[in-house]
């Protein structure tokens, strides 16, 4: 996989998207007459979600500039991997690459993991051999298992308030559905005729969860002044690193009866 590039050039973004059959979109229910809400790039037939609604490029780029966003993408001809990130984050990543900053924002960490998972789904959907599918699924399942664990053990408890409790409990129920589907896939071989159909189900579950989390929960997290997102991010990153090296997918079948408990 080639190294990702970043741009704010409208022509480059539009050309890249349209060459791959994509279109500008937003998450339904997040906008208003004056604001399209949460922006996305949609690839019909590949996005695995029905919660996106197409918008005009003019509307997309107006919000793109208002929110000071940048476009992260891979320039390989067959790659649809892309994401919208803040220009502030681009600058921060550059400073970290130069060794000038070691802060890890909890939300940025989780969002970067979301993008990694989306990339793995894209690779899995395009994989040719049974071996490649099997290896990519193992990596995907490990990423999802470790990601869910740091959210359930660290991020969600830190977010527990009266006004977030309902959303958090909905999130762990969504995690449960994801874990149950992963467990079913772990019992299948990659050459099973139903394997990719089950992957599509998993992708739809994850896509829905990510969209809700990024458009609602993360917004509320940024508004909670009592949360130190940098300190929380460092703790989550340490825990994730410890988990990912031990094939956390193997624990998933033991976590499919009930949703994770929360202190709220």
Q: Binning pLDDT at 50, 70 and 90, where does residue 1 land?
A: very low
In whole angstroms, how far apart are CA 61 and each of 17, 20, 49, 203? 13, 18, 22, 27
Instruction: Check whether 93 has a pLDDT greater than 50.
Output: yes
Q: Is the pLDDT of residue 184 over 50?
A: yes
Assign 32 to helix, strand or coil. Answer: coil
* Separation of alpha carbons 221 and 88, rounded Å: 18
**Interatomic CA distance for residues 149 and 236, integer angstroms:** 9
**What's the token pair of residue 3?**
């190294």
49: left (phi over 0), alpha (psi -120 to 50) or beta: beta
DSSP-assigned states of every residue in 205-245: HHHHHHHHIIIIIHHHHHH-TT--HHHHHHHHHHHHHHHHT
Over 80: is that where the pLDDT of 134 sits? Answer: yes
Strand order in the sheet with 82-86: 5-7, 69-73, 82-86
What values do phi and psi take at 126, rounded to 5?
A: -100, 0
Q: What mean pLDDT is predicted for residues 143-151?
A: 97
Q: Which of 5, 155, 19, 118 is nearest to 78 (CA)?
A: 19
Phi-psi bin for 192: left (phi > 0), alpha (psi -120 to 50), beta?
beta
Q: What tens digit of pLDDT does each residue of 150-175 get?
A: 999 999 999 998 888 999 999 999 99
Specify whether the backbone of 48 is left (phi greater than 0), alpha (psi in -120 to 50) or beta. left
**When comparing pLDDT for 2 and 57, which is higher?**
57
For residue range 50-81, what is the model confidence (pLDDT) as tens digits? Answer: 567 889 999 999 988 888 888 888 877 778 88
Q: 24-52 pLDDT, tens per residue?
A: 988 776 666 667 777 888 887 655 445 67
Q: What is the mean pLDDT of residues 107-132?
A: 91
Residue whose tokens read 């959907």: 125
Q: Phi and psi of 8, rounded to 5°?
A: -120, 5
How much is the mean pLDDT over the chain?
Answer: 86
**Which residues, including other chains, have CB under 8 Å from residue 124's CB and lie 6 or more apart?**
133, 136, 137, 140, 199
pLDDT at 177 over 80: yes
Alpha-carbon Rg for the chain in angstroms:
18
- Cα distances (Å, whole numbers) of residue 217 to 23, 29, 156, 161, 163: 26, 15, 10, 12, 10
SS (H, E, C) 130-191: HHHHHHHHHHHHHHHHHHHHHHHHHHHHHHCCCCCHHHHHHHHHHHHHHHHHHHHHHCCCCC
pLDDT at 196: 96
**Rounded CA separation 31/33 (Å):** 7
């Amino acid at each position: 996989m080639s190294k990702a590039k970043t741009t704010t050039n409208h022509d480059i973004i539009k050309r890249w998207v349209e060459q791959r059959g994509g279109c500008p979109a937003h998450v339904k229910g997040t906008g208003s007459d004056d604001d399209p809400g949460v922006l996305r790039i949609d690839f019909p037939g590949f996005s695995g979600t029905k919660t996106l609604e197409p918008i005009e490029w003019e509307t997309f780029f107006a919000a793109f500039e208002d929110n000071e966003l940048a476009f992260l993408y891979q320039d390989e001809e067959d790659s649809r991997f892309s994401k919208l990130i803040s220009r502030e984050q681009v600058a921060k990543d550059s400073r970290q690459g130069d060794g000038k900053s070691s802060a890890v924002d909890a939300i940025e960490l989780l969002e970067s993991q979301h993008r990694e998972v989306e990339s793995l789904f894209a690779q899995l959907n395009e994989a040719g051999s049974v071996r490649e599918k099997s290896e990519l699924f193992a990596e995907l399942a490990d990423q999802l298992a470790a990601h869910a664990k740091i959210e359930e053990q660290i991020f969600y408890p830190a977010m527990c308030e009266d006004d977030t409790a309902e959303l958090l409990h909905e999130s762990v129920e969504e995690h449960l559905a994801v874990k149950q589907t992963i467990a079913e896939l772990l019992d299948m071989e990659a050459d099973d005729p139903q394997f990719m159909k089950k992957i599509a189900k998993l992708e739809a579950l994850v896509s829905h969860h990510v969209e809700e989390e990024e458009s609602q929960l993360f917004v509320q997290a940024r508004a909670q002044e009592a949360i130190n997102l940098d300190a929380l991010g460092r703790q989550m990153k340490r825990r994730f690193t410890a988990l990912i090296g031990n094939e956390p997918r193997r624990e998933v079948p033991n976590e499919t009866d009930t949703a994770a408990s929360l202190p709220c």
